A and B are shown apart, each in its own frame.
Chain A
Amino acid sequence: MSRLGILLRNHTWLVPLLLLAIAVGVNVYLQDNFFMQRVLNGNLRVMLPLMILAVGQAIVILAGGIDLSVGAMVSLVNTVFVTLISADSGGLELAGAMLVGVGVGALAGAVNGLCVAVLRLQPIVTTYATSFIFAGLALAILPRPGGSVPRDLTRFYRDYILEVPVAAYGIALLIILWLLLRRTRFGHHLYAVGGNDEAARASGVRVGLVRFGSYVATGVFSALAAIALTMSIGSGNARIGDDMTLSSIVAVVLGGTRLAGGRGGAIGAVIGVAILSIIRNIISFAGIPSWYQTLVDALIILAALAGPGLVYLIRRQRNDGN
């Protein structure tokens, strides 16, 4: 394998990063105030919750699973969090509510983990089934959209620290958190289990436990995504996460993570979310008639998903020719 090939194999996020750079270039060309502090902050604020969620999805996909319940977990934690606080909650109360929210996420993830790792049910259908349980619980907790969040909390989310948007710190923290997690034994085992579970088992990895852990981690990240989302929109809605599940999967794949597991990483997923979001920006600034926007968006995403395959196809044909 060429040196470039090895580099790309070890850093699966390099190609997505290139895609992102191109997308940002086009965006800047169409929207000249893109790098203005206020505009940048607006974009990052919208991206952060889905980025956190996509990191969670990446973890479970790396370990060879998939989680279709992440959106429902976001809705559940959003309703729990909003119900526990009020417009004039103090700092301690907020921290407590966040802790409970993360606990609920971990518990929901544990239910998924139990079904997939212990009962050995098939991940796609099982997490679809549990998504009904979580979404139903969210609806039971908050039948009608509403609830309020202290003004200071939403203001903080929109604010700057040393001229840098708070959301940017959020993204930096997210990446640091992932880098730390990857260096742990659990992090190594995620790759081992996703790459080849039999080999992992043979070399002493407790495969079931790692799989279980990957679902719990995804639940925790879904809860963190829900908290960021709540800070962003300032209210509760039992259906808020509905559309986020499939986007999170697309982002993970765009980020260069193999759906079969074992290769890729959460940084790619973060980049994937940025790509998705920038594509949407470009479309709205390119003056495309609104009825065609969804189609153009979908075609670009499909092309991006097909990209690596096209390269593979061309390379194979060239090899056949020789």
Chain B
Amino acid sequence: MTAINRVRRVIVSPTVIALLLSVVLFLIGGVIQPDFLNAAQALNIVRLAAFLGIIAAGQTLVIISGGEGIDLSAGAVVTLGAILTFMIGAGQDSNIPLALAAVLGAGLLVGVVNGLGIIFLRIPPLVMTLGMTGVIQGTILAMTQGAIPGRTPPGLAGFINGRFLGLPGVIYLWLALGIIMWLLLERTPYGKQLFAVGVNRRTARLSGVNVPLVVIATYALSGMLAAFGGFVLLGFTQRVFLDLGGSYLFPSIAAVVVGGTVLAGGRGSYTGTMAGALVLTMVESLLRAMRLHEAYQMITFGVILVLLLSIYGRQRRNQ
């Protein structure tokens, strides 16, 4: 590849387009609502995007793995993670490690069940993870029986919302996750195998990749990352309710797609998803700042989402 091609590819990459778009949207926000345009607002939007971005990390992996991969249980797992942290954390910082372990364990369990169902029972991912959503919600109801005892550990809330060198803790967490995800996808055998599986399962298998293992591991990772997202989100909301995570489910998928990861699998990046989360959060904040009626906010959000998707959500044309 020549240097010019490489530069061109970086410039027109979905990540860069999405990032530029967020800046443009932010400036448009300033034109419409002059008090929108300030550093505190920008920081706030990045902070809100961090939660969506963290929750969308696992979704990115699952979608890259192909085979119509999608994780519709992510929303319920986010709620489960937040509730476990709330109950086990019980307002004590000393309980945070135990709560985190339980959260990751629960996410792992859900993800492995999803993976097993998809691989061995050949249930389409959409249906399997949709079915698991009901099971998780049912488990939460049976477990809490309507009353959720507990409290957010103050240390968690302090870290997520507190400022370090001027930035909220969650932004550092997001950047760290971004680096880990980049290393995972670009510098580990798992990452290579994941893309291979996403492009074509048969050729991946023929070239020695253990396809079932990679797919199950991917859903397991997705479960763990979503549950971790719930853990982080609790630090922000500091209270739990039954559809806490549900409202992040489809935005997380949209963030992945807007970030240039192809739903058909085999191509994508987490940096794209990060930029996608930023764009979606920017649009939402902008609409809120315009103080439109909720109905018109929804309509505008839908129209913008369709426009964003038509920029790079297009399917490859049949040959």
List A residues at the B interface (Cβ < 8 Å): 66, 68, 115, 119-122, 124-126, 128-140, 143, 197-198, 201, 207, 238, 246, 249-250, 253, 259-260, 291-299, 301-302, 305-306, 309-310, 312-313
Contacts and interface: CB of A to CB of B under 8 A. Distances in A.
Contacts of A134: 302
Contact of A125 (B120, B254, B297): B254
A299 to B, nearest CB: 6
Interface of B: 68, 70, 117, 120-124, 126-128, 130-135, 137-139, 141-142, 145-146, 250, 253-254, 257, 263, 293-303, 305-306, 309-310, 313-315, 317-318
B301 A306 contact: no
Contacts of B306: 115, 121, 126, 129-130, 133
Contact of A306 (B121, B295, B318): B121
B139 A136 contact: no
B314 A119 contact: yes
B141 A136 contact: no
A201 B132 CA distance: 37
A299 B138 contact: yes
Nearest 8 CB-CB pairings of A with B: A295-B138, A309-B121, A136-B298, A298-B134, A132-B302, A133-B302, A136-B299, A129-B305
B198 to A, nearest CB: 15
29 contacts: A121-B313, A122-B257, A122-B309, A122-B313, A122-B314, A125-B250, A125-B305, A128-B250, A133-B298, A133-B299, A136-B298, A136-B299, A139-B295, A140-B293, A140-B295, A143-B293, A197-B318, A249-B127, A259-B126, A291-B141, A294-B141, A295-B138, A295-B139, A299-B135, A306-B117, A306-B121, A306-B131, A309-B117, A309-B122
A311 to B, nearest CB: 10
Given A136-B296, A294-B137, A130 B117 contact: no
Contacts of A293: 138
Nearest to A142: B295
A236 to B, nearest CB: 14
Given A126-B306, A132-B302, A298 B137 contact: yes
Contact of A124 (B127, B137, B139, B253): B253
Contacts of B135: 295, 298-299, 302
A177 to B, nearest CB: 26
A298 B309 CA distance: 33
Contacts, number: 155
Given A132-B298, A137-B299, A292 B142 contact: yes
Nearest to A133: B302
Nearest to A138: B295
Given A119-B310, A130-B302, A133-B298, 7 more contacts: A68-B250, A120-B317, A125-B313, A126-B309, A246-B130, A294-B134, A302-B132
B298 A129 contact: no
A124 B82 CA distance: 27
Contact of B309 (A121, A207, A292): A121
Contacts of B253: 124-125, 128
B131 A198 contact: no
Given A133-B298, A310-B121, A291 B315 contact: no
B315 A122 contact: yes
Nearest to A254: B127
Contact of A291 (B146, B302, B303): B146
A264 B122 CA distance: 17
A111 B96 CA distance: 48
